[in-house]
């Protein structure tokens, strides 16, 4: 049985099923922007404008899948083709540089407020991050603030296929999909690189809880106490938003887990697989000898490409599924001692 990939997209109030000469879709975790670019024949009816709704559905031959819902961002007309660029809510978050300050709100609530400021709907919001205050300075976009807060809480942020912001806990497995080398996947580049020094977020606060009276009082010692010294074996990242030992050690654990899989990276190409999205976990089966022991990967970027008279292509970028480790017992022990001294 041969697969017949196809694309259907709506731009404004016009639907196109067979007009695309070339289509490219990029889906990324925040703070990256997800969108698609499509080339239409110059003779095609183009009556939409930037700001009009956009929707893309792809069918790899096994059923249609909504890949992206958003708005038209740009229309470029030429003699041979009309190029249209559309993006989802990640572009709205990337365009906003908020100057808001949030006091007494948890990380998930801060993300919801930033999304509301950008006009973005929030779907899943699993972030568990206790904060005393957070200042959304304009050196970061709202997308960067969301990704930063999600990372401190051990989560990933993306925009789902329904154009809703989704903040979900970094997965531990099992895999969401199994892909067979030689069937769905045609090329695989699995590489191991030198692991950089682990990043340790360093907080600034002595309080036992985020709502304590002294939660905003600065300290001169690092938080968590007993963090590995900065240098070639550890890189300190100032994170004054971490005001309590418990939150600081949880953030250190989240960073260690995220970094544990980053040294093993995946780049793969296969047939059109529109169901795959960043944040999913895939298991690659029937790998040839020499690819190591890692067969489960966290997808960080997915690109779909489709051209006229083409079978369609999906390109996957990912990293090994991270696990906790790397100096965490020491950090946990110091955090427990610090919390105990405040009770």
pLDDT digits 0-9 by tens, 74-108: 999 998 899 999 999 999 999 999 999 999 999 99
Q: Which of 38, 124, 43 is nearest to 86 (CA)?
A: 38
- Domain carrying residue 138: 93-169
Domain-embedded: residue 267: yes
pLDDT of residue 207: 65
pLDDT of residue 208: 67
pLDDT of residue 263: 87
Q: Which residues contact 155 (CB under 8 A, 6 or more apart)?
A: 126, 127, 167, 168, 169, 170
Note whether 153 and 223 are same-domain residues: no
User: What value does the mean pLDDT of the chain take?
Assistant: 88
CA angle, 319 then 295 then 194, to 5°: 45
Which residues in the chain land under pLDDT 50? 1, 326-343
pLDDT of residue 108: 97
Note whether 289 and 178 are same-domain residues: yes
CA angle, 91 then 92 then 93, to 5°: 90
Note whether 122 and 31 are same-domain residues: no
Report how many domains make up the chain: 3
Domain-embedded: residue 291: yes
Note whether 28 and 60 are same-domain residues: yes
Instruction: Answer whether 269's CB lies under 8 Å from 185's CB.
Output: yes
pLDDT of residue 244: 87
Instruction: Answer whether 154's CB lies under 8 Å from 252's CB.
Output: no
Note whether 136 and 180 are same-domain residues: no
Note whether 219 and 132 are same-domain residues: no
pLDDT digits 0-9 by tens, 202-244: 988 776 677 777 778 777 778 887 788 899 889 999 998 998 8
Judging by DSSP bridges, how do beta strands 14-16 and 53-59 pair with one another?
A: unpaired
Last residue of a domain, one of 62, 87, 112: 87
Last residue of a domain, one of 35, 64, 87: 87
């Amino acid at each position: 049985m041969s697969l017949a990939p196809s694309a259907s997209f709506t731009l404004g109030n016009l639907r196109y099923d067979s007009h695309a000469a070339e289509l490219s879709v990029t889906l990324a975790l925040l703070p990256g922007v997800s969108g698609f670019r499509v080339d239409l024949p110059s003779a095609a009816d183009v009556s939409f404008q930037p700001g009009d709704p956009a929707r893309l559905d792809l069918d790899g031959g096994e059923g249609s899948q909504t890949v992206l819902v958003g708005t038209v961002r740009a229309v470029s007309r030429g003699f041979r083709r009309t190029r249209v660029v559309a993006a989802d809510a990640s572009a709205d978050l990337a365009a906003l540089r908020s100057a808001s300050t949030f006091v007494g709100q948890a990380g998930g609530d801060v993300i919801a407020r930033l999304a509301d400021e950008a006009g973005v709907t929030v779907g899943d919001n699993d972030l568990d991050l206790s904060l005393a205050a957070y200042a959304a300075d304009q050196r970061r976009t709202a997308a960067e603030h969301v990704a930063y807060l999600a990372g401190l809480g051990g989560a990933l942020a993306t925009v789902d296929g329904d154009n809703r912001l989704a903040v979900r806990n970094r997965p531990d497995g099992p895999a969401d999909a199994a892909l067979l080398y030689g069937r769905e996947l045609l090329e695989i580049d699995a590489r191991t690189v030198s692991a950089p020094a682990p990043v340790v977020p360093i907080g600034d606060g002595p309080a036992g809880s985020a709502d304590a009276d002294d939660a905003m009082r600065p300290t001169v010692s690092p938080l968590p106490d007993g963090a590995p010294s900065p240098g070639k074996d550890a890189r300190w990242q100032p994170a004054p938003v971490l005001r309590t030992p418990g939150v600081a050690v949880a953030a250190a654990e989240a960073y260690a887990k995220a970094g544990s899989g980053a040294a093993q990276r995946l780049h793969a190409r296969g047939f059109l697989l529109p169901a795959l999205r960043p944040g999913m976990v895939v298991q690659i089966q029937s790998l040839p000898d020499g690819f190591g022991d890692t067969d489960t990967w966290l997808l960080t970027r997915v690109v779909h490409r489709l051209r006229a008279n083409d079978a369609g292509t999906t390109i996957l970028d990912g990293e090994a599924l991270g696990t906790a480790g790397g100096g965490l017992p020491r950090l946990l022990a110091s955090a427990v001692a610090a919390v105990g001294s405040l009770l």
